């Protein structure tokens, strides 16, 4: 029996069919992967990281600028003892900023992972995936923790508005004074916490430093507001996921009970059929 010769057209068609199958498989895999991404959690995570980065970075630089203003223009001296002065408070606030940046970086990752697992649970509702009680407890715990963090960020936003208000008043005063360059002005700094008079020769430098620090505090306030919005977004996402998971759990219980009842009815019907067959024979 002679072997069939290899045809170039046949080989080309087989190659094209293999490439077509691979492309279809890759596209289905990509669609499946993209459908499993929790886009709401992803948007909230990006917003949270942007807000925390803006608050921490601008807040740190604004506090450093405040130290420069206090030392150069208000002549506030750091206490040599371990007393709680304004510089010690600023140093504590800087360390708090470091802790906030690290903590919310980790917390954003945890919420993103929880979103992936919850999305997988919803996608596989009618598959082999079983939603455990631990998963529901973790979702409820994240909701409570996110709510507490939202209240904390609301407090941080309110606290961040205080230096913005103070710096705006001082900056506005300096802007009004700079319009009178030709006169020899002297401002009593006791209304701002100082203990001397500030003459015109220092006004230009103080105005520039105040302008920079003021806008840094404004950016920090905007970052805190963005973090609050991210927390609210997370709350909506977590509440929706928890409701879906709870509904999926009820649906699983219903399916299990239904399957069990159908199996019992099938067993009863089989038993009766066997009894009738035995009685007939």
Distances (CA, A) of 203 to 25, 70, 198, 209: 70, 14, 8, 10
Sign of CA dihedral 240, 242, 245, 246: negative
- The full DSSP string for 15-32 is HHHHHHHHHHHHHHHHHH
Q: In the chain, count of helices (H) and strands (E)? A: 5, 2
Q: Which two tokens stand for residue 107?
A: 């917390």
Q: How many Cβ atoms sit within 10 Å of the Cβ of residue 137?
A: 10
Q: Which two tokens stand for residue 94?
A: 């800087």
Tens of pLDDT along 159-171?
Answer: 999 988 888 877 7
Mean pLDDT of the chain: 75
Tens of pLDDT along 225-264?
Answer: 999 999 999 999 888 877 777 776 677 676 778 788 778 7
Q: How many Cβ atoms sit within 10 Å of the Cβ of residue 244?
A: 17
Rg (CA), the chain: 34
CB 63 within 8 A of CB 90: yes
Tens of pLDDT along 84-124?
Answer: 788 888 989 999 999 999 999 999 999 888 887 776 655 55
- Where are the alpha helices (H) located in 73-132, listed in sequence order? 86-123
pLDDT for the residue 17: 47
Does the pLDDT at position 61 exceed 60? Answer: yes
Mean pLDDT along residues 27-44: 76
């Amino acid at each position: 029996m002679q072997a069939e010769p290899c045809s170039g057209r046949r080989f080309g068609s087989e190659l094209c069919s293999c490439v077509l199958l691979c492309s279809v498989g890759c596209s289905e895999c990509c669609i499946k992967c993209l459908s499993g991404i929790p886009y709401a959690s992803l948007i909230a995570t990006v917003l949270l990281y942007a807000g925390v980065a803006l608050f921490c970075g601008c807040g740190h630089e604004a506090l450093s600028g405040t130290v420069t203003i206090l030392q150069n223009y208000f002549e506030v001296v750091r206490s040599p003892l371990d007393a709680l002065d304004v510089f010690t408070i600023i140093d504590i606030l800087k360390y708090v900023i470091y802790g906030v940046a690290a903590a919310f970086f980790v917390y954003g990752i945890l919420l993103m992972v929880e979103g992936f697992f919850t999305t997988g649970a919803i996608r596989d509702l009618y598959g082999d995936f079983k939603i455990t009680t631990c998963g529901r407890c973790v979702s409820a715990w994240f909701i409570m923790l996110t709510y507490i963090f939202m209240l904390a960020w609301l407090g941080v936003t309110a606290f961040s508005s205080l230096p913005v208000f103070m710096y705006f008043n001082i900056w506005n005063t300096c802007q009004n004074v700079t319009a009178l360059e030709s006169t020899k002005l002297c401002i009593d700094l006791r209304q701002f916490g100082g203990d001397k008079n500030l003459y015109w020769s220092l006004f230009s430098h103080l105005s520039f430093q105040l302008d920079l620090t003021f806008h840094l505090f404004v950016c920090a306030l905007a970052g805190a507001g963005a973090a609050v919005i991210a927390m609210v977004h997370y709350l909506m996402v977590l509440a929706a996921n928890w409701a879906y998971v709870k509904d999926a759990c009820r649906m699983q219980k219903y399916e299990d009970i239904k399957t069990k009842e159908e199996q019992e009815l099938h067993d009863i019907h089989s038993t009766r059929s066997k009894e009738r067959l035995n009685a007939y024979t």
